[in-house]
């Protein structure tokens, strides 16, 4: 009986002989006790889930299929198989990844490299080069040295900091150094290259101690950078061409530069109402000042004293003619004004304001400080003579006499073109670009005369509009020839320089009329800033409407700080 009770827990239907006694440990807590019938087996053998919908509740409607992060959203157009272009909704990452910046050789390297520089470092695309096991990596020290030497020539020639950085980045990028960062200040060039995130960076720098104006050399360096970035020159070929550029002599002799200085001053004196005698007197004073400045330079004097020496002879010639007013009827103010046109550092002013507008504030501050020192040198040289002539020599220099502008459109247009021509020669430009800069200067003066004289517009906005056209045409011409824009811009702004306003300020200072002198000096500063801002705005407009390489090649700029 006990054995039968122990075996009562077996399953129903089992034969008695198949039952085996089980120990108390083998009995389960879920075994029904004796005398309780077993529950019927469930009809459905599939167990239910706690996520199943209970009876009496309608199931939810089927929702939209779950999408992928790499699926095109609704309203987007799939790209073509041949290009990476496509119309995408804003805020979505395309399924084929971020579009790659197209470094096509049809676009000027300035735009290609400037696009790369204005992108954050983490978003700069690096071209995937096929790694060859038998081919060594790029010679990093030699590439960095070549990059610095090219940047040195560009910075010493007066090129803007952004264009210098773009050239350095283009050279390093062409030779396989993708993760590099060039940095340009007023006198220091630095380039840093990091092979990978775990390797130590390699940094090299170079100091620019001497500056010179030679736009022929500047154009040659631009052509070299274009060939490196577009045609794949080897390092040996690039070094050979760079050595040839350094060995090349200036295209114009010293006496030609002195004659060009005289022609510039004479043409400028005709712009403010001078005649033939004034032309010759202004040319004589400017040539004497140029020779005196060359003598000071040969003695090793700083550039400040060179400008002081260059400003003495034109002012002395004007004061002498003013003292002889009873014998010779010559407009002495026009003579001195013409000499000032040949001394005002318009090139450095435009470069300084351009660096400030593009975000290179340290270089901009240094260049504008240089302009201030050079203008101070001119002021010292001219004021010494004017003060002696007015208070000691009895010269009668009347500022109001020079304000009587006589409208001579044909003569003034010819004078403006002669001034631009002489300025181009002084800048050592190539002969094929001299006539282009001459025509551009004539156009600038025609626009200024039409706005200021005919339409009666204030001289400051009229100057800004004329300078903007100069910058626009210069940028388009430089893109057409894959060259720098400076040779087509700097000489063309010569007729717009505020020579007469500077002269009026200095003369009023010499006569102790400080309020009038400060007002004239403020007007001169406003005209100078209008020229620089107009040139930069025209250049930016030209870049804005030019073809931009790639979809993601937007030229990013810094956001407004909004006071913080």
Best CA proximity match to 427, nearest among 484, 487, 478: 487
Best CA proximity match to 108, nearest among 430, 483, 473: 483
Best CA proximity match to 164, nearest among 200, 114, 198: 114
Q: Which residue has the tokens 């060939």?
A: 227
Tell me, what's the pLDDT at 41? Answer: 64
H/E element, 91: none
Q: Let me know: does 451 contact 530? Beta carbons within 8 Å.
A: no
Q: Let me know: does 391 contact 353? Beta carbons within 8 Å.
A: no
Mean pLDDT by 10 residues, the chain (564 residues): 47 50 56 72 58 65 53 51 44 46 53 62 54 61 92 89 89 86 90 84 88 86 89 88 87 89 91 86 92 89 90 88 70 83 82 84 90 88 81 58 64 92 91 90 92 87 92 84 84 86 80 84 87 85 61 46 40
Tell me, what's the pLDDT at 8? Answer: 45
Token code pair at residue 267: 């043409």
Give the C-alpha separation, 520 to 508, whole Å.
9
Q: How many CB atoms lie within 10 A of CB 96?
A: 13
Length of the chain: 564
DSSP-based three-state secondary structure for 399: helix
Token code pair at residue 125: 């695309």
Give the C-alpha separation, 195 to 338, whole Å.
56
Concatenate the DSSP letters of all residues of 235-254 into one string. HHHHHHHHHHHHHPPPSS-H
Distance of CA 119 to the CA centre of its chain: 13
Q: How many CB atoms lie within 10 A of CB 134?
A: 4
Phi, psi angle pair for 350, to nearest 5°: -65, -40
Tell me, what's the pLDDT at 151? Answer: 92
Q: Is 319 exposed, middle or buried (0-12, 13-18, 19+ CB in 10 A)?
A: buried
Best CA proximity match to 426, nearest among 291, 236, 261: 261
Q: How many CB atoms lie within 10 A of CB 276?
A: 9
Tell me, what's the pLDDT at 353? Answer: 83
Tell me, what's the pLDDT at 97? Answer: 47
Distance from the first to the final alpha carbon of the chain: 97
Is pTM beyond 0.85? Reply is: no
Tell me, what's the pLDDT at 138? Answer: 72
Phi, psi angle pair for 207, to nearest 5°: -105, 130
């Amino acid at each position: 009986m006990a054995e039968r009770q122990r075996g009562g827990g077996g399953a129903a239907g089992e034969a008695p002989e198949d039952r085996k006694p089980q120990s108390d440990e083998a009995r389960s807590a879920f075994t029904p006790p004796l005398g309780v019938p077993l529950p019927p087996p469930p009809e459905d053998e599939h167990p239910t889930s706690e996520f199943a919908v209970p009876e009496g509740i309608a199931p939810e409607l089927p929702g939209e299929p779950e999408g992928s992060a790499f699926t095109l959203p609704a309203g987007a157009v799939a790209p073509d198989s041949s290009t990476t272009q496509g119309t995408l909704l804003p805020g979505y990452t395309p399924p084929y990844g971020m579009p790659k910046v197209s470094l096509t050789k049809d676009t000027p390297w300035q735009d290609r490299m400037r696009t790369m520089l204005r992108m954050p470092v983490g978003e700069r695309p690096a071209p995937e080069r096929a790694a060859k096991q038998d081919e060594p990596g790029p010679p990093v020290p030699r590439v960095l040295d070549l990059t610095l030497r090219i940047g040195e020539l560009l910075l010493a020639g007066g090129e803007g900091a952004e264009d210098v950085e773009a050239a350095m980045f283009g050279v390093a990028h062409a030779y396989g150094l993708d993760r590099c960062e060039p940095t340009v200040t007023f006198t220091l060039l630095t380039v840093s290259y990091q092979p990978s995130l775990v390797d130590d960076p390699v940094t090299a720098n170079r100091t620019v101690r001497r500056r010179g104006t030679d736009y022929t050399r500047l154009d040659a360096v631009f052509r070299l950078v274009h060939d490196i970035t577009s045609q794949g020159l080897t390092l040996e070929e690039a070094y050979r061409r760079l050595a040839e550029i350094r060995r090349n002599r200036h295209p114009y002799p010293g006496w030609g530069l002195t004659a060009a200085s005289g022609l510039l001053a004479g043409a400028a004196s005709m712009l403010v109402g001078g005649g033939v005698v004034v032309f010759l007197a202004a040319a004589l004073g400017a040539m004497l000042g140029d020779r005196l400045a060359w003598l000071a330079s040969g003695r090793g004097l700083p550039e400040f004293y060179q400008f002081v020496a260059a400003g003495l002879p034109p002012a002395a010639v004007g004061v002498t003619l003013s003292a002889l007013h009873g014998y010779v009827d010559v407009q002495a103010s026009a003579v001195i004004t013409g000499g000032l046109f040949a001394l005002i550092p318009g090139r450095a002013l435009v470069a300084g304001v351009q660096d400030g507008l593009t975000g290179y504030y340290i270089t901009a501050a240094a260049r504008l400080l240089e302009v201030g020192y050079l203008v101070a040198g001119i002021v010292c040289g001219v004021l010494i003579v004017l003060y002696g002539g007015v208070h000691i020599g009895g010269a009668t220099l009347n500022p109001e006499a020079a304000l009587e502008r006589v409208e001579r459109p044909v003569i003034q247009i010819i004078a403006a073109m002669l001034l631009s021509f002489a300025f181009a020669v002084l800048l050592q430009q190539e002969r094929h670009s001299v006539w282009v800069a001459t025509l551009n200067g004539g156009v600038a003066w025609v626009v200024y005369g039409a706005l200021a004289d005919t339409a009666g517009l204030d001289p400051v906005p009229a100057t800004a509009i004329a300078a903007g056209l100069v910058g626009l045409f210069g940028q388009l011409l430089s893109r057409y020839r894959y060259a720098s824009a400076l040779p087509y811009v700097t000489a063309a702004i010569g007729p717009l320089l505020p020579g007469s306003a500077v002269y009026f300020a200095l003369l009023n200072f010499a006569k102790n009329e400080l309020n009038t002198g400060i007002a004239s000096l403020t007007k001169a500063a406003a005209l100078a800033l209008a020229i620089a801002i107009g040139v930069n705005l025209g250049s930016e407009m030209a870049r804005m409407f030019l073809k931009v390489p790639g979809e993601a090649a937007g030229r990013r700029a810094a956001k407004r700080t909004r006071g913080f």
